[in-house]
Structure 1
Amino acid sequence: MPLVTAGVVVLDCAEPEKLAVFYKELLQAEETDAGANLVEIKSADGLRLAFRRDANATPPSWPRPENSLQAHLDFLVEDLDAAERKVVELGGRPLEAKEGPGPYEERGCSDPAGHTFTLRRTRQTAPKQG
């Protein structure tokens, strides 16, 4: 058994209950613990996220350079357009608008509290030809 095992990623925010709802819906997760200042969820694939109340939490300004990124989450998706629509439907927003034709492999977004994350297209696993 390893000395240290992965625990939970904790995001500070002013309203943990609201942010937990966003991620529960986005990840089709379930709430595993809730208290006055912390809400924890777990997705079907085992990802554990928690949201801790911090009345002074300041979201990062990324991609603007005047503030650091702080933390960044990557979510794997099969359909970038559908996932981005879901983010917007749940109160998040796209951060990087891409121009030009063709699919893009990833898109930057933020949750309703301003935490950034990337929707990244899963790699196609088609067999090699020839």
Structure 2
Amino acid sequence: MTVRKTSVLVLDCAEPETLADFYARLLGARAERGADPDFIDVIAEEGVRLSVRRDHGYAPPSWPRPDDSQQAHLHILVDGEDMDEAEREAIGLGATPVEAKVSAGVRDVRTYADPAGHSFTLTARLG
């Protein structure tokens, strides 16, 4: 059985309210704050969805130099009760745990590297 999942592109920043407002206006979308105070979702009726996350140590990108903060990463949203099964699926498909600590509850986030080394997280779906 495959666990139900949704992916969300997350942009790190110092001021998520400002960045969420920018993307909401740019995409003709709405910005919604959820249960996690450091995240704001930007949702458009056409299916566009992204999130912005407060990074307290945020440093703007210095592209193409790779030595600054992560900037963007893929969150794969999973119902909380399915996190363990989703983790088994990811590892079974070739993911490598980077930080797979179980922290049940609102902030259950488990980080992996895909087979090419890109990071992604399995994140408990909020609300």
Bucket of the pairwise TM-score, normalised by the shorter protein: 0.3 to 0.5
Find the structure with the greater CA-based Rg.
Answer: 1
Greater strand share, structure number: 2
TM-score, normalization by structure 2: 0.45
TM-score, normalization by structure 1: 0.44
